[in-house]
Structure formats: structure tokens, C-alpha cells
Structure 1
Amino acid sequence: MSNEMSPIDKAKFVAAKQATEYVTSGMKVGLGTGSTAAWLVQCLGEMVREEGLRIKGVPTSTRTAKLAREVGIEVITLDEAKWLDLTIDGTDEYDANLQLIKGGGGAHLQEKVVATASDRMIVIADASKKVETLGAFPLPVEVIPFGMQTTKALIEETLAGMDVLGQEVTQRQAGDDPFVTDEGNFILDLHLKRIGAPQTLSLALNQIPGVVENGLFLDICDTVIVGHGDGRVTVRDLSDDGGAEIHFNVLDDTNIFADLND
């Protein structure tokens, strides 16, 4: 990675940096998975080491847990935490009502469990994640390995009666092998193009035997923090009809987290 921040890296960084303003000592914080969430973990780790921030982090994947420990954040399980003050995570898509599609990194099951066990969920993203209607990003559905082809056929049958534009279902791969989640399950990606009734679709998918959880995060997110390549940050909160715009100054000649990979 270049020593100079790319616009997309800068957008992710300023969104993550703004999100740290919601974190105070003593909190139990859900830590998301993905490239944008990794910037957050790095920022929080810096605050732990240099400012004495005291938090307990509940990671949503083994990858996030490893990074959190490396930067000095105390890691606990959700069972140990019982309930969280806040979860901060990235997203693959969000709409004007702060409904989300997540799971591009294959961790949406743990992410949804952690987010719903929190007083508040904040999403950090770059501007490209905003959509008019959910569905451009393939919707991940975690399924158990047993009878996976049967589950896939049932999903395809269900999609035929849904308000969607596409109905293609593919199994996610990791190279030549099936992608396997932290729970040992597979992921089916639903290429729907547009989801007209997310609530109806989510309920229908989760009623199919073999389905563990889908990547629709509905009525879970409270705030979206959007970073821009020029260093601007836009904060959109469900309690604020207008949204607030905050500016950060980010050094152009230094990538302070140059070891992070997308």
C-alpha cells in the first residue's frame, strides 16, 4: 500500500475516526468485521495505548478478535459481556431508512447477534455504500452444510414469489473450496438486484429449514457515519431528519495505518 492515503482509505479512516467520538471509558463495544471496521479497531487501539481509554471489545469474527488483541484492546465474549453499550460496524449497502445489507465478509451472523445485543448500532461507511433501494449487493444467506443443495432449491422457490428483480443463487467460494464461516457453515449469495419488500423477504428466508441467518439488517442501525475522500464526514441519525456534516483534516502525505489491507 502506498504511503499516501487513497481517497477510499481516507473516507474509511475519517468515518472510523468520527465513530470513536461515541466511545468512552468503561464501555463494552461490539467490534465489526471488514476493511472499514478494521480502521475503527486501529483507531480505538491507538486511544487505548496513548490516551488510556478503557473498553472491553466483543469482536464479530476471529479476524477482528486477532486485530483487536494486536492493538491492545481487551477482548471478551458476548456471553461475558451479556449486553453492550454500542456496536460499530461497516456495511455493504444502506438506504435512506438506515436499513442494511451486510455479510460481504461472511460474518453477518455474529454481526447481527452482537448488534442486536447493543443499546445502539453505528455503521461506518464510504459514500459508495448508499443506495436508493437495497439489493444491488448480493444478499448473503448463511446455511448449514447438511442438505445445502436442498436449502438452495427452497430459497430459489421462495424467491419466485418475492418482490425482487433477480433470482440467481450462488454458493460463495474461497478459491477452489466453499467459503466456510466461523460457525462452520456455508454462504449462499442471492443476486436480487432490487429488494422491494425487505421485511417480507427476511422473514421468509429465515423460515426455510437449513437457513441460519440472512444479511438484511432491518431496524437495527441507529446512526450511519459516512466518510468522503476529501476528508468530510456526514453523520445521519434516525433521530435527526437533516443529518449533520463534520469536517476532519487528514494528512495527505501519511497513511498512518499502512499495514491495513482491504
Structure 2
Amino acid sequence: MPVNLAKESAANAAVDEQIHNNIHIIGVGSGSTIVPAVKRIAEIVHKNNLDLICVPTSLQARELILSNGLKLGSLAEYQELDLAIDGADEVDEQFNCIKGGGGCQTQEKLVAVCAKRFIVVADEKKWSPCLGTKWTKGIPIEVIPIAYKLTKKEIEKQLGGEVVVREGTEKLGPVLTDQGNFILDWKFDPLKIVNWFDVNRTLKLVPGVVETGLFVNMIYKGYFGNSDGKVEIRTNPTMSS
């Protein structure tokens, strides 16, 4: 499939460039693009006998690390990572991104913050001029269950738009994160957003909010694959090499 080829090409390009002898501890993200990335990491680690520790962003990532024979670490043990690699739901031209379509945004952000470099791998359709142009499901916001109605009301009051509780697809009721919290998806008008840093700060200050899926200017480099297997590498000009 073209999309799978695009994701695999992006993942391979990122891993081939970033995983080497000087990288010892990495963060491993969640989602479909990370599956080929971890497979490639395992190939390089086993081929070159690298001593690499992988810190997961979710239960899914944890199982992926173990099933590929890689060493497992945790944020409780390691708070300084050489690199974090993850997917994205959408990335804009200012290297802001939306994450959390899979509900792992809190652990993903914790891992990304601990990394010296945070890189994303995705298919080319995830690149857009501004957030909300292509990803229209809203920004995921993790909230404590008891506060979700209050939080929903307050976000709509302060920022407008619409906030919906993410519901499960296989069973009735809200989706639960790995931390046992609810997820709200805030649907907004992209044309009304001026500063994502201010938006993220406003969201974080709403009572009941645990974390947002807004990653504001955190990406060092993005690898975007297309249906032909070619990869476009974009580097954030605001971050030094």
C-alpha cells in the first residue's frame, strides 16, 4: 500500500540517520509509523551490537520494544534521552504538531521533553501549512474523569470551538488513557489561531487538564515519506544542530 510504503520509507530514513554508536538511550513513540521504525532499530542494534536502551511512550510501545528484542528502560530510570522518535497526526510549517490520535499524548510529551532531539516520522500528508488544515479531529486533551464536564465547558468558554469526549469504538463509554483518564478532543477554527504557545498555555491552566496533544516547536527534524518511497527531510531552523 502507498501509505504503508511512505511510512516505512520515512521510518527507515530516520533510523538510518539517527541511530549510531553515540546514541545510547532513546524514546520510542506509539502508532503505526513506529512499527517499521522499531523493526529497523532492532536490525541496526543487532547487526552492530549496539548497547541501546529504549524508553516507551505507551503500553503498545513497550510491547513493541520487547517483541523486537530491544532493551527496555523507563522514565523512572532515565530522564535524559539522546533521542526520541515518534509519529504525528499533523505538523505545520513552524514545526508545531498535533499528537494523541491514539491517546498517548501525555507519555509521548514526557518522553519528547526528556530528549535532546525529538524527531517525527510520517507520511507526507501529515505536513500542512497550519494545524487543523488536514487533521480535523481536534487537539487531544487528557483530563481527569471527575472534571471532564467542567473542563469541556471552560475550554469552550475561553477558546471557542467545540469539545467532545472521545468515545470507544468497541464498547460504550469514554476512551481511557494508560493513566486511566478521559480524552477530550477540541475542534477549533484554524483561521482564528494566532499563537499556539498561548493556546497550549491556556489549555494547560484549565482545571482538570493533565496534558495536551499540542507539541509547540518541539520537533528538531521531520521525515516525511511519499507513495513512491521517497523521503523529504525537514529541519527546524530555530534549533541548532
Fold match (TM-score > 0.5): yes
Runs (4+) off by over 4 Å: none
> Shift of residue 240 of structure 1?
9.2
| 1:24 maps to 2:20 | yes
Distance 1:24 1:144, change over 3 A: same
Residue 209 (structure 1) aligned to one of 204, 207, 210: 207
Q: Percent identity?
A: 39
Aligned-partner SS, 1:170 = strand
Q: Normalising by the residue count of structure 1, what TM-score does the alignment of the two structures yield?
A: 0.84
> Shift of residue 158 of structure 1?
1.2
After superposition, the CA RMSD in angstroms is 1.6
Equivalent residue pairs, number? 230
- Which whole-Å CA distance do the structure 2 matches of 1:224 and 1:189 have between them? 24
Residue 163 (structure 2) aligned to one of 140, 149, 169: 169
Deviations 1:121-169 (A, max 9, x none): 1111111001111124210010001121111111111113xxxxxx111
- Which whole-Å CA distance do the structure 2 matches of 1:220 and 1:232 have between them? 24
| 1:7 maps to 2:2 | yes
The letter of the residue matching 1:187 is I
Contact 1:133 1:196 in 2 (8 A): no
> Shift of residue 114 of structure 1?
0.6
Give the equivalent residue in structure 2 for 1:129: 126
| 1:227 maps to 2:222 | no
- Which whole-Å CA distance do the structure 2 matches of 1:57 and 1:109 have between them? 18
Contact 1:24 1:55 in 2 (8 A): no
- Which whole-Å CA distance do the structure 1 matches of 2:175 and 2:194 have between them? 28
Aligned-partner SS, 1:235 = strand
The letter of the residue matching 1:170 is V
Deviations 1:241-260 (A, max 9, x none): 9xxxxxxxxxxxxxxxxxxx
> Shift of residue 192 of structure 1?
1.1
> Shift of residue 193 of structure 1?
3.9
> Shift of residue 46 of structure 1?
2.3
The letter of the residue matching 1:226 is F
Contact 1:91 1:129 in 2 (8 A): yes
> Shift of residue 47 of structure 1?
2.3
- Which whole-Å CA distance do the structure 1 matches of 2:147 and 2:238 have between them? 46
* Structure 1 unmatched ranges of 5 or more: 1-5, 161-166, 242-262
